[in-house]
A = this chain, B = another copy of it.
Amino acid sequence: METQTTLPTNQSAAEIRSDNAHSSVACIAGEMQQVEQLLRDQMQSKYEDLSPLLAHGALLGGKRLRPALVLLAAKASGELKRDHVVLGTVVEMIHTATLIHDDVLDAADQRRHLPTVNAKWNDQTSILLGDYLFAQAFTLSATLGSTQACQWIGDAARRVCEGELRQIFTSGFANLSEQDYFDIIRGKTAELCRVSCQLGGCYSGADAAAQTALAEFGENLGIAFQIADDYLDVWGSTDRVGKTLGTDLLQAKPTLPLIRLLQTDPAMQTQLDELQDASDDERCQAIMSNLDRSDAKEYTLARAKQFAANAIAAIDFLPASAAKKALQEIAMFSVNRNF
């Protein structure tokens, strides 16, 4: 994965965030700002002692990818409305809730160049803040006048949990097939991207075929993004990614690089088993050197690019527009990033 620019602290997602007028998402810059504003409004409590926590939570969100998907899918397929700003905020809040809980699961202490909630406060606070965000997101989605968004978003959130639970249940370098892996990341990562695009289309008045195509775009994009995340956890730079790396390896999460390594060199399983009692550093270095000797790096990147290409193809039939172009650029960006 090529290094393109050195990104300033806390600005790592400038490609997607609205504050970069030159980015490919300039066509939704105004609406992205409305999402930021609504997000800040939603992260307020009448209890003053909770304010610093909620404000910190709002900063931890990812690259604002999911709101951008809602808005761009809407604009590429029909009319962009205020409902989309609400929907974008809802999916970002759900995403942030899952990130905050993930940081507890991973015992991570840094996210987007900021301390995690568990690092700055504690695990208990993280669990409750995640729950708070889930509840608030669902309440907000219920302001939309129909139950469609509530159902789709609730269903998507459940599938995210299902994917994460299955990931835990299959951890420990067990014989996880590539198919199982894709099934898991389809839940834990791709599902929210899928539903973001589908909601964008549904609330813009797009027909059923366009909604399906947008959903397919989102799902393939999400899978590409997660494979790239797995890649960066092994071969990324902590400075650029802005979070603790190597955690997947240490936690024996079955990610694509490892699955590939085990597929192409079955004797590796024994070696990995023997490393169970080694120190974190030893274990990490041993796995890394084996990964570097295999074709796991090239294979992982190739698979990510394949899903990104599928995403781009899925919406090829949409009429040309700045929004369509932006969606396709995001798909390319998903596998050509260093953070």
Query: Which residues of A are at the interface with B, using a C-beta cutoff of 8 A?
Result: 45, 47, 49-50, 53, 97-98, 101, 104-105, 122-125, 127-132, 134-147, 150-151, 153-155, 157-158, 160-162, 164-166, 168-170
Contact = CB atoms under 8 A, between A and B. Distances in A.
Contact of A50 (B49, B50, B147, B162): B162
Contact of A136 (B47, B50, B142, B154): B154
A217 to B, nearest CB: 23
Contacts of A138: 138, 150, 153-154, 157
A118 B105 CA distance: 13
Given A105-B124, A127-B101, A135-B158, A47 B147 contact: no
A132 B162 contact: yes
A130 B131 contact: yes
Given A124-B105, A161-B135, A147 B143 contact: yes
A162 B47 contact: yes
Contact of A165 (B50, B137, B139, B146): B50
Contacts of A123: 104, 123
Contacts of A170: 49
A135 B157 contact: yes
A132 B150 contact: no
Contacts of A53: 165
A146 B143 contact: no
A98 B150 CA distance: 20
Considering the complex of A and B, which 8 residue pairs feature the smallest CB-CB distances, nearest first? A139-B154, A142-B150, A135-B157, A132-B161, A135-B158, A138-B154, A142-B151, A142-B147
Contacts of A147: 142-147, 150
A165 B135 contact: no
A168 B128 CA distance: 10
A54 B139 CA distance: 25
Contacts of A136: 154, 158
Give the residue among A122, A132, A153, A155 with the most B Cβ atoms within 10 A: A132
Contact of A162 (B45, B144, B153, B165): B45
A194 B197 CA distance: 37
Given A124-B168, A135-B158, A139-B151, 19 more contacts: A45-B162, A49-B169, A101-B128, A105-B128, A122-B168, A125-B168, A127-B130, A131-B161, A132-B158, A134-B135, A135-B161, A136-B158, A138-B153, A138-B154, A139-B150, A139-B155, A142-B150, A142-B154, A150-B150
